[in-house]
């Protein structure tokens, strides 16, 4: 296998850099690895081996460093209508490997980055091995930004907005008990502002099929599981393969599902967290239909039920209008969350003395 063949296997173009190669590798291995695909067939094993081999080859110093050096300016779409800017983070090794390999290049990158207000390449955030590349109202692109780091940037943006309200209200003590609910709602609204499902979903997955009316149908593996609520555990444990289950409601970014009798099965989970923000908005806007089918059920052995888990086949068919769907404007809702939090702080008897 040579570099060109490795790039074809991973779908790497001449415009991609090392970070993009890593994202595409993770997406492919997550889709085709025998454990993820739910099969131990020889075909899947061989494909997973080729994907791993291709990525190992592309991790060669020349490819990652040459492409990374060219990627100094963040090139993603800016949406000035979102409520606030956010930080863009990159894994620590992405920048440190460049600086260590070539000191002159490292110094050039440092000058370019700091001129845009970014941190030094070797400044590591205390919360993890990553660093800020830049700050702005940049939309999330699955091919350019790792989703866990995107979530980290949203968490920090929400935190900073609530911190600003506390400063305005002259609160200096511990506000954890008051801000938990506000931060959860704020996080969800901010994340929706920076993710456009119609743009992101095709970059994450390919349609499983297209029907006669040219509607795309996607297939994903999902699951429901429970370890605490005995009633839900019993319902999950009693499910049978090929049985249908049904969506009930979307609450706080989670899809609640029920069995055929309407009994709660808890919320649906995906192996890839980004799917929540790429699929559920279509369902909320009623521009998609879903079908949920039980594939297999796992339960502990013995008389006492301690846990239960069911693998679910998640099929979603997008209506043609989904191609033009855009998330609703969240600015008014975000303003309301911040206003409510401000009123909470001002209404407490211990405001300023927490």
> For 300-334, how does the pLDDT look when each residue is reduced to its tens digit (9 = 90+)?
877 788 889 999 999 999 999 999 999 999 999 99
Between 262 and 303, where is the model more confident? 262
pLDDT bin (cut points 50, 70, 90) of residue 40 is: low
Look at residues 47, 35, 147 and name the one whose alpha carbon lies nearest to residue 55: 47
pLDDT on residue 62: 58
pLDDT bin (cut points 50, 70, 90) of residue 348 is: low
Between 57 and 302, where is the model more confident? 57
DSSP state letters, 231-276: HHHHHHHT--TT-EEEEEEEETTEEEEE-TTS-EEEE-EESSTHHH
- CA–CA separation, 26 and 275 (whole Å): 14
% of the chain at pLDDT higher than 90: 49
Residues whose CB is less than 8 angstroms from the CB of residue 56 and which lie 6 or more positions away in sequence, other chains included: none
User: In the predicted model, is pLDDT for residue 244 greater than 70?
Assistant: yes
- CA–CA separation, 244 and 226 (whole Å): 18
Q: Which residues pair with 285 in a beta bridge?
A: none
DSSP 8-state class, residue 346? H
Is the CB of residue 251 less than 8 Å from the CB of residue 224? no
- For the chain, state the CA radius of gyration: 23
Structure tokens at 119: 């941190």
pLDDT on residue 131: 76
Residues whose CB is less than 8 angstroms from the CB of residue 304 and which lie 6 or more positions away in sequence, other chains included: none
pLDDT on residue 353: 40
Between 119 and 22, where is the model more confident? 22
pLDDT on residue 92: 61
With b for 16 or more beta-carbon neighbours within 10 A and e for fewer, the 281-304 pattern comes to bbeebebbebebebbebebeeeee
pLDDT on residue 161: 96
pLDDT bin (cut points 50, 70, 90) of residue 239 is: very high
CA distances to 92, 189, 242, 275, 335 from 154, rounded to whole Å, are 19, 10, 38, 16, 16
Is the CB of residue 185 less than 8 Å from the CB of residue 340? no
- CA–CA separation, 44 and 34 (whole Å): 6
Is the CB of residue 241 less than 8 Å from the CB of residue 297? yes
User: In the predicted model, is pLDDT for residue 123 greater than 60?
Assistant: no
Is the CB of residue 309 less than 8 Å from the CB of residue 236? yes
pLDDT on residue 129: 66
* 92-101 helix and 103-115 helix, angle to the nearest 10 degrees: 130
Longest dimension (CA), the chain: 69
* 176-194 helix and 147-168 helix, angle to the nearest 10 degrees: 130
Mean pLDDT for 45-65 is 75
Where do we find the tokens 């460093």?
65
Where do we find the tokens 């209508």?
81
pLDDT bin (cut points 50, 70, 90) of residue 87 is: very high
pLDDT on residue 254: 87
Between 258 and 179, where is the model more confident? 258
């Amino acid at each position: 296998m040579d570099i060109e063949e490795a790039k074809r296997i991973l779908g790497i173009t001449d415009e991609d850099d090392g970070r993009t190669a890593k994202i595409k590798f993770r997406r492919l291995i997550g889709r085709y690895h025998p454990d993820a695909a739910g099969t131990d067939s020889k075909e899947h094993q061989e494909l997973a081996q080729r994907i791993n081999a291709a990525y190992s080859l592309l991790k060669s110093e020349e490819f990652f460093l040459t492409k990374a050096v060219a990627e100094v300016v963040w090139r993603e779409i800016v949406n000035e209508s979102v409520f606030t800017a956010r930080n863009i983070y990159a894994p620590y090794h992405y920048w440190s490997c460049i600086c260590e390999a070539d000191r002159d290049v490292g110094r050039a990158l440092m000058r370019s980055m700091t001129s845009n207000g970014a941190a030094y390449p070797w400044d590591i955030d205390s919360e993890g091995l990553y660093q800020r590349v830049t700050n702005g109202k940049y939309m999330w692109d699955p091919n350019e930004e790792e989703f866990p780091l995107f979530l980290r940037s949203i968490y920090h943006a929400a935190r900073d907005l609530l911190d600003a309200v506390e400063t305005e209200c002259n609160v200096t003590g511990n506000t954890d008990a008051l801000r938990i609910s506000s931060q959860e709602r704020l996080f969800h609204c901010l994340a929706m502002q920076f993710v456009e499902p119609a743009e992101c979903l095709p970059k994450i997955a390919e349609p499983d099929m297209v029907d006669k009316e040219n509607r795309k149908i996607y297939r994903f593996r999902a699951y429901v599981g429970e370890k605490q609520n005995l009633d839900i555990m019993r319902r999950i444990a009693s499910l049978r393969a090929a049985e249908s289950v049904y969506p009930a409601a979307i609450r706080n970014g989670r899809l609640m599902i029920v069995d055929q009798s309407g009994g709660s099965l808890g919320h649906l989970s995906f192996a890839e967290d980004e799917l929540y923000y790429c699929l559920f908005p279509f369902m909320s806007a009623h521009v998609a239909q879903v079908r949920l089918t039980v594939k297999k059920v796992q339960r502990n052995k013995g008389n006492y039920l301690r846990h239960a888990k069911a693998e679910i086949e998640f099929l979603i068919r997008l209506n043609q209008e989904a191609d033009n769907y855009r998330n609703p404007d969240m600015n008014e809702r975000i303003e309301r969350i911040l206003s409510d939090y401000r009123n909470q702080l001002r209404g407490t008897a211990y405001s300023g003395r927490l």
